[in-house]
Structure formats: structure tokens, C-alpha cells
Amino acid sequence: MSADQFTFRLLRASLFAVVCVGLGLAGHVFAGGGAPPAIALLGSGGALALLTVPFAGRQQNWTTLTVGLLTAQAILHLVFATAHAAPPAGAADPGPLCGAGASEGVSLTMALAHVWAAMVTGWWLAAGEKALWAVLRWLHAVLLALPPVTAGPLPAPAPRRRAVAPALALRLLVLRYTVCERAPPRSAPRAPLPAVAA
């Protein structure tokens, strides 16, 4: 893998990690868990980006993206719940989606929220993948159609045809369809035909 390919894969994997961490953070805060520490966000985002680099080399479909999102959501849920294992004194009660609390496990409502979020985000990312690869294929076709760049002098232009006067062009057009047959000149006298005896 070249450096350009690795950079392209790392960029795509980083974008996927940002979407996953952002989705997990939004869901965690919405459910009443509070924002996890910045080190948990950065660490999980970096680890997720490095784990997805091998898969970022080709176009992914909705199924693959949704499975990856579900896996990332499960890992991020555990990381965020562990980051809040010891809530400070006087902390608010976890939200309704957290069930009895993040430390006691995953409620059915929370699991359905994770699945729904992963499916919708997977659809959104699949549409983005389709658009990205369409643009890349178009750019590839356009760049292949361009003439190669040479360092030497430009080639000599092709010789130009001389312009033909309009009268000559008309005469050539008319004469083009005339039929020429081999015959004696018209100005020559004709020999009399021999008389036929009766």
C-alpha cells in the first residue's frame, strides 16, 4: 500500500470514527448519561479509526456499514458507561433510555435506540459512499481522457489545407459528377457511310 492509499484510507476511517463517536456521544447525552471525559472520546475515536483503516480501501454497502456501526456503538457504550462508573455525589438520575442505570446493563429501549441509530446512520453513510465513489470514478475517467503532459517541445501542427475559391469549389463539385467517355473530337469531319446495294 502506497503512502497516498494509506492517507486516503486513514481519512475515510477517521471520518467513520468521528461519525461513530459523535453518534455515541449524542445518544449517551440524550439518554441522560452526561458527557464522558475528553480522553475517553479521543481514545475511542483514535482506536476506532485505526481499527477501520483496513476496511476503508473500497466502497462499503449499507449492510457492512450498519454492522460496523452496531459494533462501534456497543464498544462506545461500554467505554462511556465505564467512564461514568463512579458518578460524582449528587449526580442526576440517568435518563429514561438508560433503564435502571448504565452500570446495570442495557435495557430493551436502549438497545432499540442503538439499532435504530446505527441503521439510519448506515443508510446515510452508504449514500455518502455511493456519491464519493461516483465522483472518484468520474475524476478517474476525466483524468485518463486528458493527453499526457510531456516535458519536451510541443509537436508541430498538422499542415493546413489551402482554401479553395468558391467558384473553383462549385466547378469541382459540378465536374465531379460528369461522365467522360472516349470518343473522337467533335470538330473532326465524319466519313460518309458506304452505300448498301439493294
pLDDT, one tens digit per residue, over 131-144 is 888 898 898 888 88
Measure the CA–CA gap between 26 and 32, rounded to whole angstroms.
10
- Going from the C-alpha of 154 to that of each of 148, 151, 157, 188, the distances in angstroms are 12, 9, 9, 61
Measure the CA–CA gap between 8 and 132, rounded to whole angstroms.
12
Measure the CA–CA gap between 36 and 76, rounded to whole angstroms.
11
pLDDT at 177: 67
pLDDT at 145: 80
pLDDT at 161: 73
pLDDT at 103: 45
Low-confidence ranges of the chain (pLDDT < 50): 96-103
Measure the CA–CA gap between 172 and 191, rounded to whole angstroms.
36
pLDDT at 99: 42
- Spell out the residues 6+ positions from residue 68 whose beta carbon is closer than 8 angstroms to its own: 16, 52, 55, 60
pLDDT at 185: 65
pLDDT at 100: 43
pLDDT at 116: 85
